[in-house]
Structure 1
Amino acid sequence: MAEPKVVASRYALWQAAIKWPMYSVAVMPAFLAAGALQGLELKPRWEQLILFLLAAVLLLAWENLSNDVFDADTGVDSKGKPHSVVNLSGRRDRVALAANCCLVLGLALMALVAQQSQGAVLLLVLACCGIGYLYQGPPFRLSYRGLGEPLCWLAFGPLASAAALIALAPAGVFDGAAIPWSMALELGAGPAVATSLVLFCSHFHQVEEDAKNGKNSPVVQLGSAKAAALVPWFVVACFALQWLPILRGIWPASAFLGLIGLAPALSLIRLLQRQHNQPERIIGCKFLALRFQALNGLGLALGLALGPLFLGR
């Protein structure tokens, strides 16, 4: 009777290793760009959206798999992460090969997207991939120096938003024009704070393991209590950056729909305030952060898309 439990446990580990809910962070810039363009009555190119989403998922799969490979090299995942793909498979070489295949396929799809829009799309995505490597790859490993969150904000905020806007916009909108940095920053800044919060919360349950292996995450540097006290400020910053364009009259009031992410954000804040130093009880806190990120981003995208109805256009 013990064997089914072992199988179930291994199955659960593989589910955790695949991290399918985490792909919300990969697709959100494209959904936000589609919502913003729809709100401006610039019909997004839906075939481009599908290709962009597939490419984004493949590129995040590359980052997740290669992160497991690089962390296996440093030993940071040896005990504290049984759901590492390297630990589960026991084959670092095959995981590295799968990661590289995801990278090549993702960039190939993104090159196709760029061919049908502008070359700047591929350049921006390559910059995101470069940041992904700086985050985790040798000899840089900037995540080991506590720089993961700002790098995450840059990649999933203005860079990914600019790429998605150019890729999805109807022909002629951005053709030959400069990269729409202002619009990309306005659109991506707040949601990227929520994405960075997901990464920030992934450190809480492995503070001792990270410190032991030289991974100086922000939670290691600050301590779990001070780090938990920062979580409400992540949430405030996310909403403030989204509400500023509404208050300035740039976005419609329907963009307040991003508030549907508030409930999981409050649950996350309460959980970490009470149990920040109990790893076994907060191991899932990053999924509360992810629920906040997903609901907030989808609410904002929908609110922007519905803008013409509220404005009477």
Structure 2
Amino acid sequence: MLKERGVDVVLIQETKRRTLEVTLIKSIWPFDKMDYMGVDADGRAGGLLCIWHPDRFKVVDCCGSRNFIILSSISGQSFECSMVNVYAPNDVGKRRQLWESLKNLKISYPNPWCMGGDFNEIRFLSERKGCSRRDRGMNDFNELIDQLNLVDLPMKGRRFTWCNAQDGKRWSRIDRLLLEMKSSWEVQLQLGWAGFRLMRKLASLKVSLRRWNVEVFGHVEAELKNAEEDLHVLDLVAEERALSETEANSRREVRGLVWNLHRRKESLWHQKSRMLWAKCGDKNTRFFFSI
């Protein structure tokens, strides 16, 4: 499958191996040329492995720990990016420490991030089914995604990525791929006289703003809808009986998430209103009355 789809980089979590043998890695990678970086497992838990094609993905810097590997690289001809392979701890406190470490490392690795792996955390209550612990650390994870300007790529066909094999009743979406939305203005390199460069940059910015309207603004709307649905479910339960301690904590977490998402939505509408005022003047009022 890797060869058929022309995969340049593979991120693997939970190798569960204290040592990574080259023969094992070659059995995974279908191409002749190969570079790799791994983190050994702690006993039978954890372990990370990154494999890449050195002609298509040139690593210029890297760092790692027990829970992550960062590969600063040049992909293709000139695209500079950082691939981040993550295996987050099960403990919520240790996960919070991991999130803080990644935020701090962003300063040293400023290129756009592509971060994937097993985060051992959900973003919404709807991403977990049949599990008693539903809310711990959810806000911390969403805060990480917001601060790093990451976009959560949606899944196709499936809702969950993990299932308890013993009874098949517990499901979660704890694995995902997150992409950074880099400023189009910053990454554009235009040649020519000053006015021409400005014109090209503005044209590129216009395209990016249209994409931002769909991907970022629409993404907030989807997050808010999911959070409000989760809160509605808990409110219905609260009307029927007293909530358990876990359910009460979940309700408190989700209410905070709904409030934060409403604030983000208001901020985005404010930005839209300023853009429309600059373009349409008094027509801005008509825009809001038509909503």
Of Structure 1 and Structure 2, the greater strand share is in: 2
Q: Please tell me whether Structure 1 or Structure 2 has the larger radius of gyration of its CA atoms.
A: 2
Does TM-score exceed 0.5, indicating one fold?
Answer: no
| TM-score, scaled relative to structure 1 | 0.30
From the two aligned structures, give the one with the greater helix fraction. 1
Relative to the length of structure 2, the TM-score reads 0.31
